[in-house]
Structure 1
Amino acid sequence: MTAPTITAPQLALARNAAEAALAVLPTSRTLAVAAPVAASADTVIEGQAVTAKFSGAASGEVVVVVGQDLADALKESPLGELDLTAAVRPALEAAARVFGPVVLDPGQVMEPGVALSALATKEDAVVVPLVEGEEVRAVLALALSPWPSEEPGQMDVATRSPAPATGVTGAALNRGGLDMLHDVEMEVSAELGRTRMSVRELLSLNPGAIVELDRAAGSPADLLVNGRLIARGEVVVVDENFGIRITEIVAPGAERE
């Protein structure tokens, strides 16, 4: 069976998408964009894949495969296990936006072989290896329906030199697993207190009702990251918005003491 031919516009667009994704992809390595190739399950690295569909100015699917080092760093974070999909989403969005304004699905985590095999069944799917030297460390894969017939103009990413195409500096080569998580966004929330109520009590609530919490007036509020307690502080007002002035950093393992 003859392998599908990648057209010049596809080649340029796939490289642009890989450049954009790599600029925001968490990594402790200095990576470069290699030549795009027809999608195949053979381009597999040890790690995890995140795949998402998008629609809008263009419709298609984008897959980012990251190395096991990032997957492990997210699992072993001092803030608790972090969501791989949330960590990789900026790279998925950056790649998809190369094709114009689009809306990206939430995405899901898959095994790399499964994700790339599914994508390879689609016509004109393209894989772009992200390499360190000759070693493939991450992968961007794309399938569009249809691909644009011409390369869009005035794209900042198209003016970049293809090497080294990376969102980190050379000094980042020896950074630890935690450092690669510095740009990963997480949900931060403040909690004044908690209580427990029966279903009967919940159903009897109405405007004006007062719910007593398990915390005395003037006690510090909790600051939580992805539901995990990391600090305590006092509530303040900043430009008509509530804020938290940190008074205590909670050591790991000391939550809810």
Structure 2
Amino acid sequence: MTATTTTLHTGAAEALALQLPTPAPLRALALPGGATSAVLEAAVDGVVASFVGGLSADLALVLTDLGTITAAGGTDHGLVDVTDVLRPSLEAGASVLGVGVLGAARRESAASLFADPETVVFELTAGGLPAGWFGIRIRENGTIGTTAAQPVSSIPTGNLGRINNVEMTLTVEIGRTRMSVRDVLGMEPGAVVELDRSAGAPADVLLNGRLIAHGEVVVVDQDYAVRITKILDVAESL
């Protein structure tokens, strides 16, 4: 492991720790011996994601109060799960790796990733006490293994106040289509792409890629906006 790669591991851990929505700021301290048995036991319930770019990496986050952060979503809202809450932190950690794409965050066991000798493990501490662990495995020219997403359990009722400042991506989709590579390469200014939705049909409103509402596109002070016409029930949106 080169000094440059080690610096990237540390930079990713520190960037992630700064973005975590925890009551107290966390410090990231590397564990020289890797994951301990206690870490591996806790890692059965973690959040993992894969980054693909000039450098590829697997990232895993385990928090001792993951249940508390999960509860902050609230079953009565149901639109925010723990992967949504922690994704900005994972994005911050991945940002030090350069240009690339961070895949969907998944809640699943991270024990195998933490146990890999190629994974650098950091203890996340607050006031000298462990609040969680972060593992990152960087592959300079390798491929990232993929794991099927696991269903996320229902989120118990809790206080949303702890995650009020977490930034999320809201997307408005007016339609989709499928095109061959030949057709895409053949596009030029003036080309018309037909979508799978009729004119006047409601647009889909997605939160971190999850459908949460329908709306109509409007113009406000010469800027596009969306007027929400229907908030979807959680079960309906899934």
Q: Shorter-chain TM-score category?
A: 0.5 to 0.7
1:126, distance to aligned residue in structure 2 (A)? 0.7
**Could you tell me which residue of structure 1 aligns to residue 61 of structure 2?**
64
Matched, 1:185 2:168: yes
- Output the TM-score relative to the length of structure 2: 0.59
Superposed CA offset, 1:65-97 (max 9, x none): 2332112212x1653252322222222222122
Matched, 1:88 2:77: no
SS in 2 for 1:37: coil
Q: Aligned ranges for residues 1-257 of structure 1 at < 5 Å?
A: 9-40=4-35, 42=37, 43=39, 45=42, 48-66=45-63, 67-74=66-73, 76=74, 79-111=77-109, 115-123=110-118, 125-146=119-140, 177-182=159-164, 183-185=166-168, 187=170, 237-243=219-225
1:26, distance to aligned residue in structure 2 (A)? 2.1
Q: Which amino acid aligns with 1:109?
A: R
SS in 1 for 2:97: coil
RMSD: 4.4
**Could you tell me which residue of structure 2 aligns to residue 220 of structure 1?**
none
Distance verdict in 2 for CA 1:38–1:236, change over 3 Å: same
What is the number of residues matched between the two proteins?
190
The CA distance in 2 between the partners of 1:26 and 1:177, in whole Å, is: 13
SS in 2 for 1:28: coil
The CA distance in 2 between the partners of 1:237 and 1:51, in whole Å, is: 39
1:146, distance to aligned residue in structure 2 (A)? 4.3
The CA distance in 2 between the partners of 1:119 and 1:127, in whole Å, is: 7
SS in 1 for 2:78: coil
Please say if residues 58 and 144 of structure 1, whose CA atoms lie closer than 8 Å, have aligned partners that are also in contact.
Answer: yes
1:130, distance to aligned residue in structure 2 (A)? 0.9
Structure 2: stretches of 5+ with no match in the other structure:
142-157, 174-194, 232-238
Deviates more, 1:93-102 or 1:8-17: 8-17
Sequence identity percentage: 29
The CA distance in 2 between the partners of 1:212 and 1:145, in whole Å, is: 47
The CA distance in 2 between the partners of 1:188 and 1:79, in whole Å, is: 19
Superposed CA offset, 1:151-176 (max 9, x none): xxxxxxxxxxxxxxxxxxxxxxxxx9
1:224, distance to aligned residue in structure 2 (A)? 9.0
Q: Which amino acid aligns with 1:71?
A: T
Structure 1: stretches of 5+ with no match in the other structure:
1-5, 148-175, 191-206, 214-222, 251-257
